[in-house]
């Protein structure tokens, strides 16, 4: 047995022995591996545990294919799915905790997050799904973390403003490129690129309450502000959160549209969420297939030249439009 194993190792080992489900075992084993210091005396232990982890993942994949398990897939909920990426102790979990209904483990030691954890962030009349993930650069989790980032609608790259946030952001972008993930720049539209997945992103500087943070956010804006949205927050003091919510909505590239029946007021309690650029017929397809086949015209309140303007099915909707369908 290698020497100099920290107390965290033995706590994680006990957690692994007590795990029951494949997912619990994988999470516990990932945490266990992360506690082992890297030196010659631990090489065999780490190799044995990585082999065991690989076997557990293979078992979990087999269960998923047979319909018995979900591995680390996170089903999308809400208006859009937002995944947080960052290095250890950047404060991703703290941001998720203050913005959503989730309760992630928050600790000063690295790798307190060992499995994806989602929570819902309310914004006006919709909600966004936030996913807290383990830090990037960990061999035991990077595989499924990259898969979740690739599937998300929007990425939040989180850096510690009190350290060297521009260096952290540069390394994060570099790691994403290694995974064939590219960040969309401001106003850039998605386009097909062989082998690459493009995602909109927000660069978030956390710990704005600590010394040196002002210089850190200034450097982030100077280096990246012309290409990507940049936000400064303090999860500890809950500063900058409302501004971040608005940026998340703007970068999600979605619109909210309300429907109404002729002669009745619109239902503003449950908006339809559509991608930016959606048309009247796109909304009709969501509501009911018969609307598409039998649509005569629609009336629009909001972006129309005047309230109740009659429009055709190719009319492009904007956020908070009200649509009244007229069917044959």
Q: What is the H or E stretch that residue 172 is in?
A: helix 165-178
Residue 1 lies in a domain: no
Give yes or no: residues 99 and 172 share one domain.
yes
CA nearest neighbour of 247 among 102, 77, 99, 89: 99
Q: What is the CATH number of the domain that holds 201?
A: 3.40.50.300
Q: What is the CATH number of the domain that holds 285?
A: 3.10.20.30
Beta carbons within 8 Å of 146's beta carbon, 6+ residues apart: 179, 181
Per-residue pLDDT in tens (0 to 9) along the chain, 328 residues: 445 778 888 788 877 776 656 667 777 888 888 888 888 778 888 888 888 887 777 766 655 554 444 456 788 889 999 999 999 889 999 999 999 987 776 655 455 456 788 899 999 999 999 999 988 877 767 778 888 998 999 999 999 999 999 999 999 999 999 999 999 998 887 766 777 899 999 999 999 999 999 999 999 999 999 999 999 999 999 999 999 999 999 999 999 999 988 888 888 888 999 999 999 999 988 887 777 888 888 999 999 999 999 999 999 999 999 999 888 7
Pick the last residue of a domain from 221, 251, 281.
251
Pick the last residue of a domain from 216, 251, 286.
251
How many domains, the chain? 3
pLDDT score for 62: 59
- State which residues form the domain around 317: 254-327
Give yes or no: residues 194 and 298 share one domain.
no
Pick the last residue of a domain from 251, 279, 310.
251
For tokens 């795990």, name the residue: 19
Residue 42 lies in a domain: yes
CA nearest neighbour of 93 among 25, 175, 156: 156
For tokens 């503003």, name the residue: 268
Give yes or no: residues 112 and 209 share one domain.
yes
Give yes or no: residues 291 and 243 share one domain.
no
CA nearest neighbour of 279 among 311, 245, 241, 253: 311
């Amino acid at each position: 047995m290698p020497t100099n194993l920290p107390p965290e190792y033995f706590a994680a080992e006990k957690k692994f022995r007590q795990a029951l489900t494949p997912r619990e075992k994988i999470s516990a084993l990932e945490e266990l591996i992360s506690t082992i210091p890297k030196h010659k005396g631990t090489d065999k232990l780490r190799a044995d545990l990585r082999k065991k982890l690989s076997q557990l993942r293979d078992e979990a994949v087999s269960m998923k294919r047979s319909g018995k398990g979900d591995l680390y897939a996170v089903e999308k909920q809400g208006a859009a799915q937002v995944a947080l990426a960052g290095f250890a102790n950047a404060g991703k979990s703290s941001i998720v905790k203050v913005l959503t209904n989730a309760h992630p483990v928050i600790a000063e030691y690295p790798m307190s997050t060992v499995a994806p954890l989602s929570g819902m962030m309310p914004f006006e009349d919709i909600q966004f799904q936030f996913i807290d993930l383990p830090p990037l650069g960990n061999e035991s989790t990077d595989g499924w973390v990259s898969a979740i980032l690739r599937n998300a609608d929007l990425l939040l790259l989180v850096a510690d403003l009190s350290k060297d946030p521009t260096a952290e952001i540069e390394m994060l972008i570099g790691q994403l490129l290694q995974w064939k993930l590219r960040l969309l720049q401001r106003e850039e539209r998605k386009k097909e690129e062989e082998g690459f997945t493009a995602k909109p992103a927000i660069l978030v500087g956390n710990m704005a309450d600590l010394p040196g943070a002002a210089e850190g956010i200034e450097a982030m804006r100077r280096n990246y502000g012309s290409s990507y949205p940049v936000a400064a927050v303090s999860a500890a003091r809950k500063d900058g959160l409302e501004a971040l919510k608005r940026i998340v909505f703007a970068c999600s590239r979605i619109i909210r549209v309300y429907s109404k029946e002729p002669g009745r007021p619109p239902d503003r309690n449950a908006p339809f969420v559509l991608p930016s650029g959606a048309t009247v017929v796109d909304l009709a397809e969501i509501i009911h297939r018969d609307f598409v086949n039998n649509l005569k015209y629609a009336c629009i309140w909001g972006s129309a030249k005047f309230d109740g303007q009659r429009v055709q099915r190719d009319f492009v909707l904007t956020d908070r439009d009200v649509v009244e369908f007229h069917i044959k």
